[in-house]
Structure 1
């Protein structure tokens, strides 16, 4: 985590601000949902998709701006000097919204669900996708900036405090992610509240939550190995969920 108290406070405030941006994006996208006509999905899709993409991209730009301000203040707190910010953004927003929206509605109908039920059922996943795409502006900006900053050793995943097992696993690794092309690090699912924090030292001090994630991951590896199974990510995450304490753990 950040080496200064000010840096830690900035990271927490930035995470909360990004979660709020994502929430506003979801609310606005949901308000546009009825522009899709369940009786004419293909015909109503162009207008719906154009207006929804504009709304989500507006929040994505806000996410970038908030991340840019955070990066400047954070570097000043950690190093005493500001640095260049590299803006980055997702490029597949329209496609992602389309897949989570009308394409998913059609898939649910094809599986036997009544059209009206499918239309309502698809909304939750779609709302999460709108939230994700908006927040990716800030997430990718942090990753890209850390990757270009010669003083940065990388960046780490910052959870919302109640992560799923997958996000906890990524956060348990610390600042191992190097840039915006970090395959694992930039994987954010719908409704994910994770953000990121640049690291300027290899002397990473895990937070109490990160230590818990590390312990859970270690225990999961021991469980999978003890079962005589080949260790892979899918089995590890399943074992972590069964231990409890994660958003996607079984409810007992």
Structure 2
């Protein structure tokens, strides 16, 4: 992702102060081309990874994952969102333009990173859904992941479709998509095949211990349990 973020940063100079109406669409078009190029590479690498994992699992039959493109509408919506604060309604007192530009650049980098990472993650997810030898996929959360990502990670390889992946688990969770991968999220999806056992990493076992301990006496449903887990993680 370092190369992607470098290339996205280089394109930011297209946007010209005082000429947003003309230059922001030009910037969006250039970023879209860059994102699509990196997304294709990411999807290809993810497909290769899936096939390697399938071979290691000695899964039967032959299965070739489909490559995933970034939907044009999704890309356009993400980049519009990233630059939306450059235009401030007249009735509001706007922050300084330097502050708005810096915030938009940060949001744009996160949006571009997510679009590319989603291409890789969706390649795995869609392959798991289509492959009869796939048991499911597990969320591999980074050490610095947010509480919700950690919560999804401790569930193990239960994800096979959009509902089980967390589409309805928290509608207010930041970021688009059924599978709840947000901007600046470094989680990825790893397939698990029939006959394979799942052995969580030590940090995942620790998150599970914290979850079990923090929620054992909680009443009030899943929202209350999520909040208890979030507070417990913050205290560690």
Same fold (TM over 0.5): yes
Cα distance per residue 1:59-80 (max 9 Å; x no partner): 1111101001111111111116
Conserved? CA contact 2:141–2:187, under 8 Å: yes
Q: Relative to 1, partners in 2 of residues 1:166 and 1:186: Cα closer, same or farther, differing over 3 Å?
A: same
User: Equivalent residue of 1:198, what SS?
Assistant: strand
TM-score, with length taken from structure 1: 0.77
Q: What's the offset of the Cα at 1:55?
A: 0.6
Match of 1:147 in 2: 129
Give the distance between the partners of 2:89 and 2:185, measured in 1 at CA: 23
User: What RMSD, in angstroms, separates the aligned Cα atoms of the two structures?
Assistant: 2.5
The more displaced of 235-244 and 159-168 is: 235-244
After TM superposition, the runs of 4+ consecutive aligned structure 1 residues lying more than 6 A away are none
Conserved? CA contact 1:157–1:175, under 8 Å: yes
Q: Unaligned stretches of 5+ in structure 2?
A: 167-177
1:189 counterpart = 2:178: no
Q: Relative to 1, partners in 2 of residues 1:207 and 1:32: Cα closer, same or farther, differing over 3 Å?
A: same
After superposition, residues 59-208 of structure 1 pair within 5 angstroms as 59-79=38-58, 83-91=63-71, 92-100=74-82, 102-106=83-87, 110=92, 112-179=94-161, 183-184=165-166, 186-201=179-194, 203-208=197-202
Number of aligned residue pairs: 220
TM-score, with length taken from structure 2: 0.82
Conserved? CA contact 2:125–2:189, under 8 Å: yes
User: Equivalent residue of 1:197, what SS?
Assistant: strand
